[in-house]
Amino acid sequence: MTWSIRYLAEFTACRRAASAVEFAILAPLFFAILFGIAIFGSYLAVVHGVQQLAAEAARRSVAGLTDSERGSLAADYVSANAGSYPLIDGAHLTVTAAASSADSKVFVVTVNYDASDMFIYALPAFVPMPAKTIVRSAAIPFGGY
Q: How high is the mean pLDDT in each 10-residue block of the chain (145 residues)?
A: 71 72 88 85 94 95 89 94 92 94 90 91 77 94 70
Mean pLDDT of the chain: 87
**pLDDT value of residue 49:** 96
**pLDDT value of residue 145:** 54
What SS3 class is residue 96? Answer: strand
Q: How far is CA 140 from the centre of its chain?
A: 24
C-alpha angle 99/102/107, rounded to 5°?
25
**pLDDT value of residue 76:** 95
**pLDDT value of residue 4:** 75
pLDDT above 70: percentage of residues in the chain: 92
**pLDDT value of residue 144:** 60
**pLDDT value of residue 2:** 66
Burial 36-62 (b: 16+ CB within 10 A, else e): eeebeeebeebbebbebbbbbbbebbe
**pLDDT value of residue 13:** 72
Tell me which amino acid residue 122 is: A
**pLDDT value of residue 40:** 86
